[in-house]
Amino acid sequence: MAENTTELNHPEWLNVQFITEVLNNYKKEIDLKVTHLVITPGSSVGDNYASVMYRARVDYTNPKGTFSKSLIIKTVSEMFAGSSLFKTEIGMYKKVLPEFERILRESGDTSKLYADCVYYSLEPRQVIIFEDLVELGYEMARNRALSHQEISSALSKLAKIHATSMKIINEQPEFLKEFNDGICLVDIPYMNSGAAPFTEFLGQISELKKYQPHFEKIGTSFIGRLKDVMKEYQTNPQPGYYVLCHGDYHTRNVMFKHNKKSGSFEDCMLLDYQGCYVAPLAVDLMYSIYMLMNREQRTGELETLLNYYFFVLLQTLRKIDYQGVMPTPLAFWSEMKRLKDYEFLFLSTYLPMSVGLSLGGNYNQETDQKLKDYIEECKIMLARFERSGYFEDL
């Protein structure tokens, strides 16, 4: 009898019998037998909020011999059990990503866009099982900033996904019709409560006080506009560039691979396609500015990194024979400006929250290093907002 051990509480159905059925179907074998199964946590605390992850280390036999395999098992969290997230992700792995890779392969691009999906179901339970990327040499970047090369690679993969989706939207828009409900940041309680403290904060910092009137005008109006962006493609398309956005594009949703001997960078893999929806390409890029880049990159390398994304986007569109209107640099940066509300949200609310900084109360610039860093970043970012015309026609 196979041994089933565990290092945490997990669902009763996640057992030897279930894993045996999964592997038999995946391997197309009938004589596969699981001989040992160990279930452990599949992610660290805070890595996922919509899912519960497990890692299954499996020993099994078949007529060819004895083998081992590691699987990542993703189940829906109780909070999101009634959402469409798993349906969206299954659609991505079953239908969309294989088609995107097929289009890229036809153009000679061998980029890998996703981890192999071993099993998926919505009934009787919501579960997706993937190959374990850790076993293939990929890892999360924990407790460190991403390098310029790592961010460039992540933006390159994103650009190829965006470009391929532009071709699909131009040629067969019905193919992506179901992807119309992504993750709206302002629906997360703490994300719609930072505008007022930030505006007050600006008035208390001498170097930033000149920007306070702009944010007094903005108020909380950007929250409604961000909600509108979520439905814009379906309800009120605007001039610009619509793509299949990842929708939750941050550091914990990318894994990186480095050569074990030399340490040199080799590849990255995007994860968690459960928030994908058709929206302006600037949505994912706004995420990347604040959720992939660190302070030095945001303030010193932003244009270089985003121009690299744009270069790969154009290069890929040409390779895959995109027949729509080709993006121009001027139109690209105009599109970023049009989605400025995302930057207002990220700078005012996400950024201080992410570093554990409260904007309420009294401030001591001399002793609080987090505050000093945030003020210095605000000076640079708000000056860029002003140069870019973000405060025009508020």
Q: What are the pLDDT digits (tens) for 137-169?
A: 999 998 899 999 999 999 999 999 999 999 999
Same fold, 3-80 and 85-117+140-387: no
Lowest-pLDDT range of 29-33, 302-306, 349-353, 381-385: 29-33
Would you say residue 203 has pLDDT above 70? yes
pLDDT at site 366: 57
What single string gives the DSSP state of each residue in 78-112? GGGTTSSHHHHHHHIIIIIHHHHHHHHHHTT----
Lowest-pLDDT range of 33-42, 282-291, 300-309, 354-363: 354-363
What CATH code is assigned to 85-117+140-387?
3.90.1200
> What's this model's pTM, rounded to 2 decimal places?
0.92
Tell which residue, 202, 231, 232, has the closest CA to residue 216: 202
Task: Supply the mean pLDDT for the chain.
Answer: 91
Lowest-pLDDT range of 30-44, 71-85, 200-214, 220-234: 71-85
Q: What digits encode the pLDDT tens for the residues 312-356?
A: 999 999 999 999 999 999 999 999 999 999 999 999 999 998 888
Crossing angle of helices 97-106 and 148-171, in 10° steps, is 90
What is d(CA 147, CA 305) in angstroms, rounded to the nearest whole number? 11
What is d(CA 107, CA 214) in angstroms, rounded to the nearest whole number? 47
Would you say residue 303 has pLDDT above 70? yes
Contacts of 194 (CB under 8 A, 6+ apart): 345, 348, 349, 350, 352, 353, 359
Lowest-pLDDT range of 226-230, 243-247, 256-260, 328-332: 226-230
What is d(CA 23, CA 122) in angstroms, rounded to the nearest whole number? 18
What is d(CA 81, CA 97) in angstroms, rounded to the nearest whole number? 24
Q: For residues 210-222, give the mean pLDDT.
A: 92
Q: For residues 212-229, give the mean pLDDT.
A: 91
- Residue 2's pLDDT band, with cuts at 50, 70 and 90, is low
Would you say residue 310 has pLDDT above 80? yes
Which run of H or E residues covers position 119? strand 117-121
196: which 2 tokens? 């007022």
pLDDT at site 48: 58
Strands 3-6, 33-41: pairing is parallel
Q: What digits encode the pLDDT tens for the residues 12-45?
A: 899 999 999 999 999 887 789 999 999 998 766 5
158: which 2 tokens? 């994103």
Would you say residue 6 has pLDDT above 50? no
Q: For residues 172-186, give the mean pLDDT.
A: 88
- Residue 181's pLDDT band, with cuts at 50, 70 and 90, is confident
% of the chain exceeding 90 in pLDDT: 73
Q: For residues 39-55, give the mean pLDDT.
A: 74
Q: For residues 359-385, give the mean pLDDT.
A: 85
- Helix, strand, or coil (residue 317): helix
% of the chain exceeding 70 in pLDDT: 93
What is d(CA 7, CA 239) in angstroms, rounded to the nearest whole number? 53
What are the residue ranges spanned by the domains of the chain? 3-80, 85-117+140-387
Would you say residue 275 has pLDDT above 70? yes
What CATH code is assigned to 3-80?
3.30.160
pLDDT at site 1: 44
